[in-house]
Amino acid sequence: MTDLRPFRCAVPEPAIADLHRRLDATRWPGELDDVGWDYGAPLSFLRELADHWRHRFDWRAAEARINAFDQFLLEIDGLDTHFIHQRSPHPHATPLLITHGWPGSIVELLDVIPRLTEPERFGGNAEDAFHVVAPSLPGYGFSAAPTKPGMSPRAIAARHLDLMRALGYERFVAQGGDWGSIISRFLPDLAPERLIGLHLNMLPPWKPAGVADPFALMTDRERARYHADRAKIPDEFGYQAIQKSRPQSLGFGLSDSPVGLAAWIVEKFQSWTDNQGDPRDALSFDQMLANISLYWFTGTIASSVRLYREYELAHRRGERPGARVEVPTGGAFYPREIHGPVKAWVEREYNLVHWYEAPAGGHFAAFEQPALFAADLLAFGQTVRNGETGGL
């Protein structure tokens, strides 16, 4: 590892002009009548989104929001990792590693970070504050893309341990959703002594080992949700089959067409957020486009989706989470999460000391509901700092 280098986003003007040129030259496909989102992103929605991107979206404003935070690059094993390192003004704040997923980015966290570093500004308590470290995953945003196979979730977890040590944080709280949840789950296997606590807002319903009838442990509500989630798999997870098998082929199209990229990502914002049929019920066009634009300007959509292939190959090699996690763990469930958890199953895999069921929100919890997300994470931090770790 080498020394930290301060970083600021600064997309060149010609790159913005090129985006505008490509948007103007979009070749639009036809579509079926009256099918809504059932076949993917509708033409009318994408035309409106693209028009906003071309004529009203202000990347410089989005860039300024990112640059309001302290950012750095650190070379780890030959690859630069980009990260936000926002220290709280309260010197005794608890270190927090927070990891995003796909198709998200650090943009998801911009409204959450101030609530965590200075909770007293938002009605909370200064003694609950965190020093926040939010890395961009390898091949996402401004983090360098791997050039060789093998950058699996476990390998990323090991890099994050190196990052926290380089910053002087020997012990810390780890938080994650989506890929962040899967990556963070490997931290207790690699270095349990370094974790003060583990907080996850995606807890897939994996059946516990050694239980004769795991379904008997479900509540009626959990059972109904489990079967509803299973019924959605054929329609909802086709993207995974592509990304974990032939991500490079997909990457050519998404890297060349901004509207193609936007369609691939915004369809997930529609499917996975807490909305009434339109993703704008949960996220504004400007929020969606800040995230999409980060992928576009950094040219990282192809490298980002390769993580699915790396995970698939690592799983085939037997790279899987270890035994029960004894690190004090918090679980959060948002009602439109794509994988509804089963609490009794979670308790068998984790030392569960904190459980939160949010009244609103979906898969992009920090993005959709920053106030709820931050309040829950602050409450979890208070629990583990106070030593209330006997389980629920």
Residues annotated as catalytic (active site), given as ranges: 178, 308, 363
Q: For residue 89, what are the contacts with CB-CB under 8 A and spacing of at least 6?
A: 117, 118
Closest CA to 265 of 142, 126, 103: 103
- Residue 105 · residue 114 · CB < 8 Å: no
β-strands 130-135, 79-86 pairing: antiparallel
Per-residue tokens: 153: 């979730």
Sheet holding 71-76, edge to edge: 5-7, 71-76, 79-86, 130-135, 94-99, 172-176, 195-200, 325-333, 350-357
| Whole-number Å distance between alpha carbons of 133 and 120 | 19
CA dihedral 228, 231, 234, 237 (to 10 degrees): 20
Tell me whether residue 50 is exposed, middle or buried, using C-beta atoms within 10 angstroms of its C-beta: 0 to 12, 13 to 18, 19 or more.
Answer: buried
- Residue 373 · residue 112 · CB < 8 Å: yes
Tell me whether residue 318 is exposed, middle or buried, using C-beta atoms within 10 angstroms of its C-beta: 0 to 12, 13 to 18, 19 or more.
Answer: exposed
| Whole-number Å distance between alpha carbons of 253 and 260 | 7
